[in-house]
Amino acid sequence: MKFSPIDILSAEECDRIHSATMDILRKIGVHIGSPEARAVLAEAGASVLPGERVSIPEPVVLKAVERAPSTIILTGLDPQKSVEIGGKTVNFMSGAGILDVLDLDGAIRASTLDDLVQFTRLCDALEYLDLNHGLLDPRDAQGPGLYPLAASRIIPNSSKPTALVIDTARDVEAIAEMAAVALGSTQAVRERPFFTIHDSNTRPPLYLDDKNYEVILAACKRGYPTGLTSWPMPGLSAPVTIAGALAQKYAEFFTGLVLAQTINPGNPFIFPVEIGGAEMRRGNVVTASPEIALAGMAGAQMARYYGLPSVAVTATDAKIPDAQAGAEKAFLLTA
């Protein structure tokens, strides 16, 4: 679906968020847990500082932005169900990470791998869902190996492009083997990727650990569309202002982008737009506040500012699928 963007930031405000992001990268730097990742960033033109911090100058970031593709084509196992991510195209994807299931009789129970199969088939049949996701993290499969096991249920049951969740580089390697079986060869997966691996999460504020680098390395070596996700919480793990939290988030993201474009220039890399939220009295997580909607709109505009494909999350703070859930989802989707 094509759309007319809603811009809530002026050109000057976009420039200010960009400048703040570059200042963070240059003056403060990002803590990089992996010695190998620090070496890759130094190769790209960054400076390694005391305390495992890395300072990245603006020209290095802009070179990585220039190398990264502005759109990504995912074909799906059914080539007729391809999607284009980026530009002015909007695609819709199912949710992810659900632990429990609300049955039709009103009972809430722990999710299972069989539920994941059934929900994957349902999402595959829904006309207005363009991409599939690991809708459930089944409780009967929790522990090491959860995500490859989930992928083994998702891939055979989804003809649409898919976003696959991972935890470690070993998960990427396991998914690579499954993908090669699905398409017939490793080269076929590289030539027509049908999935993304973009859910490697940083540790705000300004910390990338070994797993972040290893996932980026494993994905980029294979040419898979990937990314780096960060969920800064304004007032807790990020500045309390929306613009400040976004600037910190993008400092972490651009560190991952520089790594990816140094490892494999031109590797698709997905820009994550929004921030987290917190109820400041008790510190509880909030996912659907007005501030999050504003941050999502501003973040999507910043993705267009850089010309990068982006992903956004539409969540709800409701505990059941009720009127609150519908209102919050509708509001965030409209934003």
- What's the CA gap between 258 and 267, in Å, rounded? 11
Residue 18: name the closest of 271, 283, 211 by CA.
Answer: 271
Beta-bridge partner residues of 53:
31, 49
- Fill in the DSSP letter of residue 164: P
- Fill in the DSSP letter of residue 79: G
Kindly report the average pLDDT of the chain as a whole number.
Answer: 94
**Other Cβ atoms closer than 10 A to 271:** 27
- What's the CA gap between 27 and 235, in Å, rounded? 21
pLDDT digits (tens, 9 = 90+) for 88-139: 889 999 988 899 999 989 899 999 999 999 999 999 999 999 999 989 999 9
**Whole-prediction pTM value?**
0.95
**Is 208 in contact with 251 (CB distance < 8 Å)?**
no
Domains of the chain: 11-89+161-334 (3.20.20.480)
* Tokens matching residue 114: 């069989």
3-class secondary structure, 115 = helix
**Is 78 in contact with 160 (CB distance < 8 Å)?**
yes
Q: Is the pLDDT of residue 44 over 90?
A: yes
Q: Is the pLDDT of residue 334 over 80?
A: no
Helices and strands (DSSP H and E) totals, the chain: 11, 16
* Tokens matching residue 67: 């190398």
- What's the CA gap between 138 and 100, in Å, rounded? 8
**Is 231 in contact with 275 (CB distance < 8 Å)?**
yes
- What's the CA gap between 185 and 263, in Å, rounded? 22
pLDDT digits (tens, 9 = 90+) for 224-279: 999 999 999 999 999 999 999 999 999 999 999 999 999 999 999 999 998 988 88
- What's the CA gap between 253 and 272, in Å, rounded? 8
Helix (H) or strand (E) holding 108: strand 108-110
Q: How many residues does the chain have?
A: 335
- What's the CA gap between 126 and 254, in Å, rounded? 35
- What's the CA gap between 324 and 117, in Å, rounded? 28
| Interstrand relation of 226-227 and 269-272 (parallel, antiparallel or unpaired) | parallel
Query: What's residue 1's pLDDT?
Result: 65
Residue 200: name the closest of 241, 149, 260 by CA.
Answer: 260
- C-alpha radius of gyration, the chain, whole number: 19
Which phi and psi angles does 207 have, rounded to 5°?
-140, 120
pLDDT digits (tens, 9 = 90+) for 274-300: 898 888 888 888 999 989 999 999 999
Residue written as token pair 């096991």: 149
Give percent of the chain above pLDDT 90: 85
- What's the CA gap between 333 and 335, in Å, rounded? 5
- pLDDT (average), residues 77-90: 91
For the chain, the first-to-last Cα distance in angstroms comes to: 16
